[in-house]
Chain A
Amino acid sequence: MSVFYFVAFLSIFFALMTIFAKNPVHSVLYLVVTFFTFTVHYILLNAQFLAVVNFIVYMGAIMVLFLFVLMLLNLNKDTEPMKSNLVKFMGVIAGMCLVATLAGSFRVLASSEPIVLKNPDIGLVGNLGRVLFSEFLLPFEISSILLLTAMVGAVLLAKNDPKKA
């Protein structure tokens, strides 16, 4: 349990650092560390496959792409767009709403009974695959089609129109 609290503290700490970092590249690097702490959470939950996939996909691929784009953009203080007062004002209101919602939800907070899984090995690869390809086959296939659609769309947007070129 204490391990969980320590890792949870790290997650929140680095997530906050992601927001507060001035330099966008630092921000992304803090986000990478945040994702690493998520991987530790998955391992604590005995979901090894999810942990490793989170590690590979988020830390290894998506964050590298983020970093890639940010490095090419070469953002610094001079090029930072100044936000108008209206946007700042709206931001303050939205933030206050979020605080009010959170405070309201904490008011009714009560510790629930710990849930004991019937099958603690559900997160191992074999079991996960069996569940995905039998019980949840349709949602699984639909979500993969969704990802494929996004990819085709991205390729279509990036592709030059042969008539214009």
Chain B
Amino acid sequence: MESALLVEKTILVVAVFAITLFIAMYSTLVERKVAGFMQARFGPDRAGPFGILQPLCDGGKFFFKEEIIPAGAHKFLFIMGPTVAMFTACISSAVIPWGQELTIGERVIRLQVADINVGVLYMFGVVALGVYGIMIGGWASNNKYSLMGAVRAASQSISYEIGMGLSLIALLMVTGSLSLREIVAQQEGFVNWNIWVQPLGFLIFLVCAFAECNRVPFDLAECETELIGGYNVEYSSMKLAFYMFAEYINMFVSSSLMAALYFGGYNFPFMYDLGLSQNWITIIGVLVFFAKILAFIFFFMWIRWTVPRFRYDQLMNLGWKVLIPLAVVNIVLTGIVTIVKDTYF
């Protein structure tokens, strides 16, 4: 491997990592600001102007809190829990195409860490691994409430993964590729966005993404009123912060996945009609992509303060009896439309 490529990829990885952590960090503040906005109050506004230093204060506080490992806990797995959660959350952003190519001098730099030809499946696999962090942590705590939370998280995640996978299959039938870069490149402009051909698939994917991220209204794994706090009851200090952080990173990654798969990623309307050079198109594309991601993150928060939590049997009924049959119908419809289009048009 040539060294220039190595340097380029290293910079890209560090940048993606830093941006991910930064967005996750400020999501905590934005969440509380949005909550304040929804409930006609200010939200945190003491630390710095408009409270922008609040995440730093929270982080500092978490570091200096006493760290407690319960006597009956399995020590190694207790530490492994948040580690796995954080690790799987961080590696999932590797295949997302952040933008087109930048040309600096002679070099063409692709704004994507790894373009593997099964990118969509890679994302799916990493999401599937994410539940281990919660399960290991919940079990190792040696606490009945933690275990209940972990078990809920696992069954919820497995149930909704099926719906998510089926909705993705319909999308893949349209795109004909498993590479995220190619899927995004196909959605040039505005009318080619996949949301126009797969509205039902997107809706299913969206609901499943909420469930996979353990967000309200599907946050049954950390239902305070029934489980005290859920899988993370016994956790304190930075380990608790890692669990929360992993949740915010997952939210960021699923937002970027939805923006890339259904809303054209870095593509924006009239991108080639404005007479801009390739570098400018790329830069604006990256900004547009992040605007889409932030819009989705806002949507996640909006839902959180609008819809109340589901009951557990309602959650399972929705997953198995509504979303999965709908996804299958969507696949059949997509197949029929594809054949009719190929034959008659």
Contacts and interface: CB of A to CB of B under 8 A. Distances in A.
B118 A56 contact: no
Given A25-B139, A71-B135, A61 B117 contact: no
A160 to B, nearest CB: 15
A68 B156 CA distance: 12
B213 interface: no
B150 interface: yes
Contact of A56 (B124, B136, B150): B124
Given A68-B151, A71-B151, A125-B117, A56 B178 contact: no
Interface stretch (B125-133, B184-192, B246-254, B279-287): B125-133
B139 A48 contact: no
B131 A64 contact: yes
Contacts of B161: 60-61
B332 interface: no
Interface string B109-144: 000000011100110110111011001100100000
Nearest to A23: B74
Interface in A114-158: 124-125
Contacts of A61: 128, 158, 161
Contacts of A32: 132
Contacts of B122: 52
A97 interface: no
B221 interface: no
Given A29-B136, A67-B135, A60 B125 contact: yes
A56 B126 CA distance: 8
Nearest to B119: A52
B280 to A, nearest CB: 35
B139 A56 contact: no
Nearest to B127: A60
Contacts of B125: 52, 55-56, 59-60
A122 to B, nearest CB: 14
B132 A49 contact: no
Interface residues of A, number: 20
A82 to B, nearest CB: 25
Contacts, number: 60
Nearest to B178: A125
Given A68-B155, A71-B151, A49 B118 contact: yes
B79 interface: no
A72 B144 CA distance: 10
A65 interface: yes
A64 B154 contact: yes
Interface in A22-44: 25, 29, 32
B118 A125 contact: yes
Given A64-B158, A68-B155, A53 B147 contact: no
Contacts of B135: 64, 67-68, 71
A53 B157 CA distance: 17
A29 B139 CA distance: 12
A67 B137 CA distance: 12
Contacts of A71: 135, 139, 147, 150-151
A88 B118 CA distance: 47
A29 B125 CA distance: 17
Nearest to A32: B132
Contacts of A49: 118, 121
Interface of B: 77, 116-118, 121-122, 124-125, 127-129, 131-132, 135-136, 139, 147, 150-151, 154-155, 157-158, 161, 178
Q: Lowest 5 A-B CB distances belong to which pairs?
A: A60-B128, A52-B121, A55-B125, A56-B125, A52-B118
Given A52-B122, A67-B139, A71-B147, 12 more contacts: A48-B117, A48-B118, A53-B121, A55-B125, A59-B128, A59-B129, A60-B124, A65-B158, A67-B135, A68-B135, A71-B151, A125-B178
22 contacts: A29-B77, A29-B136, A48-B117, A52-B118, A52-B125, A53-B121, A55-B125, A56-B121, A59-B125, A60-B125, A61-B128, A64-B128, A64-B154, A67-B132, A67-B135, A67-B154, A68-B135, A71-B135, A71-B147, A71-B150, A72-B151, A124-B117
